[in-house]
Structure 1
Amino acid sequence: MRVKAFQRIRSFLLVRLESISMTSKMQVFTQKRNPITGSTEWDVQHEDYDFHQEIARSAFADMLHDTERNKKYHRALQLAIEKMHEAGKKANVLDIGTGTGLLSIMAARCGADTITACEAFKPMAECCLKILQRNGVADKITVVPKRSTDMTVGEDGDMKEKANILVTEVFDTELIGEGALSTFSHAHEYLLEEDCIVVPDSAVIYAQVVECPTLQKWNKLNDLADEDLEVILRTPQKMKDCAGSAAVHDVQLSQLPRHAFTELSDQIPVFYYDWSGRSPIDMKRTVKQEFTVSNTGQAQIVFMWWELNMDPEGKICLSCAPWWAHPDADLSSDRPQDSIPWRDHWMQAVYYLPQEITVQKDSEVSLVSCQDEYSLWFYLEDEKTKRKHYKRPICECGVHMSISRTHVSYLNDGKRSKKLLAQLKEDLVADAVVLDLNGSSFLGLAAAKMGAKTVYIIENMNLNIGILNDYIKENDIQNAIVLPEVTDEVLEKITNVVCDPNFSCAILPWENLKVAYLLYRYRSKLKDFVPVIPESCEFWAMPVEFQDLHKIRIPLGMCEGIDMSIFDSLVESSRVISDAEMEAQPLWEYPCRCRGVPRKIIDIHFKDLKVTYACDGANPIVDSKSEGSHSVNGFAIWAVWIVGGKPISSGPVEWPVVGDRVNWDMHTRQAVKILKTSKIVSDSDKWSYQVACDLEKGQFNLNLDWVNEES
């Protein structure tokens, strides 16, 4: 499953108490942090909130919509069962991690003699039983609600005899991150016959060394420079030298602009995994491979992907490669990335090398690939850089522990920074006393270097404070003071307020309205007409047609001829209880088309904290120039910050044209509402929104939907 950061990490404290409702059902208080106010708040939730949240999170999303995956598993199963029967043996199938039972039902339809399906997640095991019943195969499949490593074989065991066919899908972006190595090892030792057939039979991990300044912005902080390229803040040396984090960065690499990286190597097969049992599985290993450098450049990053050989003969291959390395890509197409299967459960991985190395074309260097039971990491060596040990990289500078990769890339967005710095230079008065509302950015420190008398920075997270102090020391800043909270005495001195409008704790775009909330709190103590950067904020929304992203939410219905409506109902009912309608996504990775003129829905001016709601009404899906009907499967929402009278968009980087693909900002995430079903719309269809913003309480609520013409 995808590792990506788009799911919020929250701490839930559960307290049960009787509801006063007639049904006498229990309810749950969930404790969560309001990212705008920073305070802890209580929500009353369904008594089985955690239970339903777990179901919603384990929905397999686009995995079961992956037609190529489904068909190749089906064909490999068919061949395995036929091979057993041709050898005069029964085909006894074990399906590990069956989920909905899809692979087990396929095995039944292929003529397997016995099928045992194990599923440790009890709600899914119960759902699987109902799906088997609905599809008329309940009598052919035994469901064991256990982990495979807890199963037993014998007269009184979970299986009477060992299986001779194993089918399983226990892979993630890193291939082995979900415990595939231990799962296969245990199965071969305790659950499978010696001459069994395994689907898939084997796997290969590929790596490619590249120079990619674009993605390197997600890894290490650059010096902060103004529009004249003068360095305002130097990045501390400890941050430049830090090995970073070994945690995988999963990315839809096929959406990365081709000009954004330079290949320094061909694709290199670094690890081979034999799932069949013919050879032992190594839980830990290091492989060093020499290769010839294909282009001169700065080796910064390793791209990784893998492929599955579904059958022992290697005739059925399932590849997760990006388009330029994919065996089925149409390289003659204008958009070859659209010619390969789309997946969000198996993406490509990015690993940042602990140390950059300059390499010359045609020279020989070594890629060192390391693997433990659950993860991978990489080193690069030339004649000058040799290591005795290849331990997993650990962050020692604090940046990789306290700041998300998306926020690091935001801070490295030079175009945005230069606009903020230019306005800061213009606004600073003589003997300026500056208040910086965002300690997870460096605008306040920049003000200190640009001539402010004193700068007060609000920050209460210890890791962020440590980063600020490192910058203060590196840049010899004497006039910056970091405070967890600002006092009335300080507020009365302030001549300028600055706030880079992207907080490290914010996920959804409106969570950056912390700037407005803080200004509301402090406004009675601040002097009149104190200049504020940014000066205002707008939120925009538009209907879109996602090319693929909607697959993570839409129902399955029929999947490979198998009725999955029971699963759809289970997931949908759980989502209603546990999931918010809006979620954050980095839309540059997920192509979509604009299906309606963008609409400004709210405007907030920070000078007087005036909130202006755009006229709430019906908005046409398409403009007057468009003809015919179109498909809409979601809405996109983003913020625009006004600095010096000019917009800085955290959404489209250029004005969207109805019907065209949208070019999204790569350094922020946008809010998305995915519709349960795609809607075919025409000029007569309209959408509406309801928005409420309470600056005093730090609350923002938004709802988008179709206009009900009948009402």
Structure 2
Amino acid sequence: MSSSLSSLLPKTFIPFRSFRRHSLTRLRSSVFIARTMSSQSSQRVFQLRQDPLTGDSEWVVIEDNDQPGTSSDGLLSTTSYLDMLNDTRRNRAYRLAIEKTITQPCHVLDIGAGTGLLSMMAARAMGEEGMVTACESYLPMVKLMRKVLHKNGMTKNINLINKRSDEIEVGSDIASRADVLVSEILDSELLGEGLIPSLQHAHDMLLVDNPKAVPYRATTYCQLVESEFLCNMHNLRNNEAKVSDGVRLVPPGLESLFGIKSQQYSMHVDAIENDIKLLSDPVKIFEFDFWKRPESNGELDVHIEATTAGSVHAIISWWVLQLDSEGTIFYSTAPRWIDSSPEIGVREWCDHWKQCVWFTPGAGVSLSKGEKVNLHAAHTCTNILYNLKKTQSLTHEMTHSPLSTGDVHLTLPPERVAIYGDSRYRQSMFEATRNALQGNSNPQCLVIDDSLLLPLMALHASNRSRVISLSPGLQENAARYFEAIADSNGFSKDRFEYFREVKSNLAEAYPSKIDLLIGEPYFCGLESGLPWQNLRFWKDRTLCDSVLSEDAVVMPYKGVLRGCAMYLPDLWKSRCCLGSVEGFDHALVNTTLGGCGDLPTGRDSPCLPFFIWQCGETKKLSKEFTVMEFDFTKPITGPCSGEVQMEFIEPGVCHGIALWMDWVMDKENSTVISTGPDERYWKQGVKLLEKPVTVRVEGPSSIGIQASLDLSSNGELIIIHTLS
């Protein structure tokens, strides 16, 4: 951070998660925000944005009065606000509940107002009288909401306040307490956007006694399941026992050093319905009433009877929203195998709310049919936690202590744990590493990504190798982990060094030339990024060029940007441009929110990261094709480009292009690691077309793409132009 910028920041800047409790899951990038005031007394926001190609961070300045094309333009284009506004079932349920609840003029408080949809619904329900206080803390969204309110002629009775709800004061920001609370501060887990602290402060300071509320209540449910697919996402120890490469990331006795975080993970479990065996009926867990002050913490014990025999590998959870006090209007995030009532209806695919998965530690809990287990559930202000314990009778002692998160010192996402436990992946990596080391008697190896696997494989593949691991994205305790794991795998300390940061003088840091420069490539923190952002490996390789020996081997040998035309009706529907949303014109938000479809000339939809297998209904329509290749044996010399015409193998409607990276590990092309749509533990990039195109198998293709990639750009890595 520059000294001039740091002087403008308050002494304590506020992390984004606590700064903006509302709609956190709708932002796809990790950001930090600080606020201050300019000399003209207009608000200024500093947003910390990471460059995925370098790992460096920069502060983006957002002014309250800046113009299109300035630093704040485009900050919302990769969020999931658009997906939320395209959720017609959600919008209709809120409208019906607001119209039913607000029947006369009053004071309404809207927390986390977004584009102002709920505020406008409330103002319309009251007519010319009454007042809505709309609270929205994220400045780019505030600027957009002002435009939406003006476009719909709704500025008169809506007071928009650019603050967190717990910063609002009666007598200063608002004249009196509100009679009705409307809000949508829910994530897939329910509590992650700060629902409880927001409700607590609102009831303490901003609402009248016994206020009305929309929604009225939320109820969480869960179900015990068996699934090898889900088990693989956390049970690395058992999977390692099945591989023969001789490397152990989780050696016996050191299980507490590595794992996943004890939390719920959002996931479209409908997509793995065939990989799931249900072991219990759904069970009701917690109720949270919006019309009264919630408790910060709660605990509950539930006895669950197994409906069939199996091993509990995971607990799947969801919630049901009751929007009106009478219980006639509902919204559910339940998986589709749960019978939907006529009131709730069948849930359509959407990405802003999913189900959640809690992984049962180890190999799971084995149950016989009819056997009972005790599920201990607890909630904090922001999380719901589970602990499953077998019990022989209901008289056994219950566990009421806080749920333990274990003694894990190094954590990775579940998908990465699954990859490290995949025997095919590990065998490919080991063979490629061993082949790269052949012919070198005392190889010097440098690992330049955040791989846990490759340093150990390089040590194991050659008993005379010396390995330096540079893993800037790992936690600070990674050094302790590597030291313990290297020792447990039988590698002497003099053969392995670990650093988190690049030395300022590479020649001093590596006086002996590097013979093998390797990566998976994998960088912590980019799991939700676009696949080609891992080309950071190429940038780092370029920086290390001076310390490579003349015959140094670089692995991977090259990267290949691949693609495939896709049928993606559900994803298209969730990202398409808006028109009228429950009677309110939202067309002006389309460009800002990254819509696809009817965009102005010269504007294009963003390329976004998704797990294709979790995108609802999907189908490949074309052969897989190569867009660009990147030669890692040479430093970066300039921008790259490619052009390809698609060859279709299935007739249908093409909604977009799936894009991913294939990593060619060796010069002979004998080992290729693909991250395409068939590999479910990797995210792909999705570029939706300007308009869906009907394609045929016969005749020439009418769709081609051009792509350009400039690795000197600041995260804007690729631009795709569709050609008709």
Q: Same fold (TM over 0.5)?
A: yes
- Indicate the SS of the match to 2:477: helix
Report which stretch shifted further, 181-190 or 456-465. 181-190
- CA-to-aligned-CA distance 1:261-314 (integer Å, 9 cap, x gap): 33333211010123344xx63221110111112344443432211001122332
Is the CA contact 2:122–2:132 (under 8 Å) kept in the aligned structure 1? Answer: no
Q: What is residue 564 of structure 1 aligned with on the other side? A: 586
Q: What is the Cα deviation at residue 75 of structure 1?
A: 1.9
How do 1:509-528 residues align onto structure 2 when only pairs under 5 Å count? 509-521=531-543, 526-527=548-549
Q: What is residue 341 of structure 1 aligned with on the other side? A: 348
- Give yes or no for the alignment of 1:253 onto 2:269: yes
1:169 maps to a residue whose letter is E
Q: What is the Cα deviation at residue 559 of structure 1?
A: 0.9
Q: What is residue 319 of structure 1 aligned with on the other side? A: 332
Q: What is the Cα deviation at residue 66 of structure 1?
A: 0.7
Q: Percent sequence identity over matched residues?
A: 20
Seen in structure 2, the aligned counterparts of structure 1 residues 552 and 341 have a Cα distance that, compared at 3 Å, is closer
1:378 maps to a residue whose letter is Y
Distance 1:6 1:169 in 2: 15
Q: What is residue 420 of structure 1 aligned with on the other side? A: 429
Seen in structure 2, the aligned counterparts of structure 1 residues 388 and 108 have a Cα distance that, compared at 3 Å, is closer
Q: What is residue 653 of structure 2 aligned with on the other side? A: 630
Q: What is residue 614 of structure 2 aligned with on the other side? A: 589
Q: What is residue 376 of structure 1 aligned with on the other side? A: 384
Distance 1:30 1:159 in 2: 31
- CA-to-aligned-CA distance 1:398-447 (integer Å, 9 cap, x gap): 222xx344433332333211112233344543745251424523223123
Seen in structure 2, the aligned counterparts of structure 1 residues 523 and 504 have a Cα distance that, compared at 3 Å, is same
Seen in structure 2, the aligned counterparts of structure 1 residues 323 and 612 have a Cα distance that, compared at 3 Å, is farther
Seen in structure 2, the aligned counterparts of structure 1 residues 253 and 355 have a Cα distance that, compared at 3 Å, is same
- Give yes or no for the alignment of 1:537 onto 2:554: no
Q: What is residue 599 of structure 1 aligned with on the other side? A: 625
- Give yes or no for the alignment of 1:364 onto 2:410: no
Is the CA contact 1:210–1:301 (under 8 Å) kept in the aligned structure 2? Answer: yes
- Indicate the SS of the match to 2:388: strand
Is the CA contact 2:219–2:320 (under 8 Å) kept in the aligned structure 1? Answer: yes
2:706 maps to a residue whose letter is Y
Q: What is the Cα deviation at residue 109 of structure 1?
A: 4.5
Is the CA contact 2:53–2:714 (under 8 Å) kept in the aligned structure 1? Answer: yes
Q: What is residue 87 of structure 1 aligned with on the other side? A: none
How do 1:113-132 residues align onto structure 2 when only pairs under 5 Å count? 114-121=129-136, 123=139, 124=141, 127-128=144-145, 130-132=147-149
Distance 1:414 1:358 in 2: 24
Seen in structure 2, the aligned counterparts of structure 1 residues 639 and 463 have a Cα distance that, compared at 3 Å, is farther
Report which stretch shifted further, 165-174 or 67-76. 165-174
Distance 1:37 1:568 in 2: 31
Q: What is the Cα deviation at residue 680 of structure 1?
A: 3.3
- CA-to-aligned-CA distance 1:127-169 (integer Å, 9 cap, x gap): 5455344334555555555555566778x98356752x44322
Q: What is residue 20 of structure 1 aligned with on the other side? A: none
Distance 2:708 2:75 in 1: 29
Q: TM-score under structure 2 normalisation?
A: 0.77
Q: What is the Cα deviation at residue 206 of structure 1?
A: 0.5
- Indicate the SS of the match to 1:256: helix
Structure 2 residue corresponding to 1:502, chosen from 513, 522, 529: 522
Is the CA contact 2:572–2:655 (under 8 Å) kept in the aligned structure 1? Answer: no
Distance 2:242 2:435 in 1: 13
Q: What is the Cα deviation at residue 488 of structure 1?
A: 7.8
Q: What is residue 332 of structure 1 aligned with on the other side? A: none
Distance 1:151 1:612 in 2: 51
Structure 1 residue corresponding to 2:408, chosen from 375, 379, 397: 397
How do 1:120-199 residues align onto structure 2 when only pairs under 5 Å count? 120-121=135-136, 123=139, 124=141, 127-128=144-145, 130-139=147-156, 141=158, 143=160, 148-149=165-166, 158=174, 163=179, 165-188=180-203, 196-199=211-214
The count of aligned residue pairs is 661
- Indicate the SS of the match to 1:419: helix
Alignment RMSD: 4.6
Seen in structure 2, the aligned counterparts of structure 1 residues 298 and 480 have a Cα distance that, compared at 3 Å, is farther
Distance 1:121 1:382 in 2: 46
- Indicate the SS of the match to 2:466: strand
Structure 2 residue corresponding to 1:686, chosen from 698, 703, 714: 703
Q: What is the Cα deviation at residue 622 of structure 1?
A: 5.1
Distance 2:620 2:144 in 1: 38
Is the CA contact 1:166–1:199 (under 8 Å) kept in the aligned structure 2? Answer: yes
Seen in structure 2, the aligned counterparts of structure 1 residues 524 and 339 have a Cα distance that, compared at 3 Å, is same
- CA-to-aligned-CA distance 1:6-41 (integer Å, 9 cap, x gap): 934367999999xxxxxxxxx999986655455678
1:359 maps to a residue whose letter is S
Seen in structure 2, the aligned counterparts of structure 1 residues 298 and 527 have a Cα distance that, compared at 3 Å, is same
Is the CA contact 2:445–2:518 (under 8 Å) kept in the aligned structure 1? Answer: yes
Seen in structure 2, the aligned counterparts of structure 1 residues 63 and 13 have a Cα distance that, compared at 3 Å, is closer
How do 1:25-424 residues align onto structure 2 when only pairs under 5 Å count? 35-37=52-54, 51-52=72-73, 60-81=81-102, 90=104, 92=106, 94-97=108-111, 98-110=113-125, 114-121=129-136, 123=139, 124=141, 127-128=144-145, 130-139=147-156, 141=158, 143=160, 148-149=165-166, 158=174, 163=179, 165-188=180-203, 196-219=211-234, 221-222=236-237, 229=244, 231-233=246-248, 235-236=250-251, 237-240=253-256, 244-259=260-275, 261-277=276-292, 281-325=294-338, 327=340, 340-353=347-360, 357-361=364-368, 362-383=370-391, 390-394=401-405, 396-400=407-411, 403-424=412-433
How do 1:433-472 residues align onto structure 2 when only pairs under 5 Å count? 433-437=443-447, 438=449, 440-461=451-472, 462-472=476-486
Q: What is the Cα deviation at residue 176 of structure 1?
A: 2.3
- CA-to-aligned-CA distance 1:607-631 (integer Å, 9 cap, x gap): 56799999844x44553x666x734
Seen in structure 2, the aligned counterparts of structure 1 residues 94 and 641 have a Cα distance that, compared at 3 Å, is same
Structure 2 regions of 5+ residues with no counterpart? Answer: 1-21, 39-43
Q: What is residue 474 of structure 1 aligned with on the other side? A: 488
- Indicate the SS of the match to 2:196: helix
Q: What is the Cα deviation at residue 513 of structure 1?
A: 3.1
Distance 2:660 2:84 in 1: 26
Report which stretch shifted further, 521-530 or 433-442. 521-530
Distance 1:320 1:537 in 2: 39
Seen in structure 2, the aligned counterparts of structure 1 residues 680 and 199 have a Cα distance that, compared at 3 Å, is same
Seen in structure 2, the aligned counterparts of structure 1 residues 100 and 703 have a Cα distance that, compared at 3 Å, is closer
Q: What is the Cα deviation at residue 171 of structure 1?
A: 1.6
